[in-house]
Amino acid sequence: MMSGNPLLRVQDLHVEFKTRRGQAPVLNGVDFEIRSGETLCVVGESGCGKSMTALALLRLIPSPPGRISGGRVMFQGEDLVQATDARMREVRGNRISMIFQEPMTSLNPVFTVGDQIGESLRLHAGMNAQAARERAIEMLRQVGIPAPERRVDEYPHQLSGGMRQRVMIAMALACRPDILIADEPTTALDVTVQAQIFDLLRELQREKGTAIMLITHDMGAVAEMADRVMVMYAGRVIEQGSTEQVLSQPGHPYTRGLIDCLPELGSSAAFGDGARPELAEIAGVVPSIWELGRGCAFRERCPHAMARCAAEAPPMFALEGPAEGEGTGAPHGAACWLHVEAPRARMKEAA
Ligand code: SF4
């Protein structure tokens, strides 16, 4: 069940990387919130800042060359940007867990999967070796690994790619975290196992009120899992709102384009002009960091671009309040100048 107060509040988060050409801004003022029991889906093309945002929350950005150059990550009243390394080790894997995209880079090849799942239980939950092993077997069973009593003593290279991914999920869920960040967690899995994993995540959420931040390319997974959706482009949040608001009334041409990539979700109602891109993909590519300039980062690909779009980056405009039953959820907002020009706009900047 969702609660009204944010568990995590990210404010004006900036990340930059030092390169030979200078400081490269990869996150440019990211703002969002997550509440207990809520699933926030983060969508956008590769390189838009989704995974970088997740890494920044856990202070896992490789430093140097990367660094958080501004903003706050408030977790239950504590700013994790300012937390000590020791405090972050307590938070990671215990209060906030992450399922990474690449299981082989996250699993240690010289320890059994049982040891790796049990490690956080011994460290954070104070379990002895026997209790941790039993819990590891139970977690392997829950993520759908057959013969978990045998698999618990195997090493990562003895498992298939799909099984390794499920081990990662078991590790992330073992301590029943307050927040679970899942970066494309089911990409390598077949549809049946994917459904099983989503069921498991929902069960965890029901039981413990875990907040889930699900990073995905898959708009089908968004429609199935998300309470709220956040769309990123070129290191910024360009739209967010309830799933219903964002999927049925997208406020940004980029979101419209993502939805039109999915025939079953696309419709021609957005923007009130009946226009719908003919191509089932968004033409063009995300601009490089060095090409962003001052204006809207989407302008080279946008069918609605106007003079103002090249001159000034649009702020986030509030389009509607929280959907019914969403408590104090952030309003539906989109960062697009169309909401100044179009009659649908409310001309009100989001808080
Ligand atoms: Fe398109 Fe302009 Fe809106 Fe950017 S601000 S999405 S270029 S209309």
Domain ranges of the chain: 6-95+177-350, 107-174
The predicted structure's pLDDT at residue 322 = 56
pLDDT in tens, 201-235: 888 788 888 999 999 888 778 888 899 999 999 99
- 8 contact partners, CB below 8 Å, separation of at least 6: 33, 34, 57, 73, 74, 75, 179, 211
- Give the pLDDT confidence score for residue 327 in this predicted structure: 47
Contact at 8 Å (CB) between 170 and 117?
yes
Q: What pLDDT is recorded for position 268?
A: 42
pLDDT at 85: 92
Nearest ligand 1 atom to the CA of 304 is: 8
In terms of Cα–Cα distance, which of 76, 81, 64 is closest to 23? 64
What is the predicted pLDDT for the residue at 239? 96
Question: In the prediction, which pLDDT does 272 show?
Answer: 42
Specify the pLDDT at position 104. 64
Give 335 Cα–ligand 1 centroid separation in angstroms.
8
- Find where tokens 């300039």 sit: 293
Residue nearest to atom 5 of ligand 1 (CA): 336
Q: Are 214 and 205 in contact (CB under 8 A)?
A: no
Ligand 1 atom with the shortest distance to the CA of 299? 7
- Cα 338 to ligand 1 centroid, rounded to whole Å: 7
Regions of the chain with pLDDT less than 50: 267-280, 324-328, 343-351
- Return d(Cα 285, Cα 283) in angstroms, integer: 7
From atom 6 of ligand 1, which residue's Cα is the shortest distance away? 336
Distance from the CA of 14 to the center of ligand 1, in angstroms?
A: 22
Per-residue model confidence (pLDDT) at position 243: 93
Who lines ligand 1 at CB under 6 A?
252-253, 296, 298-299, 302, 304-305, 309, 314, 336-338
Q: Which CATH architecture has domain 6-95+177-350?
A: 3-Layer(aba) Sandwich (3.40)
User: What is the reported pLDDT for 348?
Assistant: 37
Residue 103, pLDDT score = 63
pLDDT at 83: 94
Give the integer Cα–Cα distance in Å for 45 and 165: 22
Beta bridge mates, 332: 320
Write down the residue that tokens 């808080």 correspond to: 351
Rounded to the nearest 5°, which phi and psi values hold at 282? -85, 120
What's the pLDDT at 263?
A: 58
pLDDT at residue 23 in the model = 83
Give the pLDDT confidence score for residue 190 in this predicted structure. Answer: 74
CA distance 145 to 149: 10
Q: What is the largest CA-CA distance in the chain?
A: 66
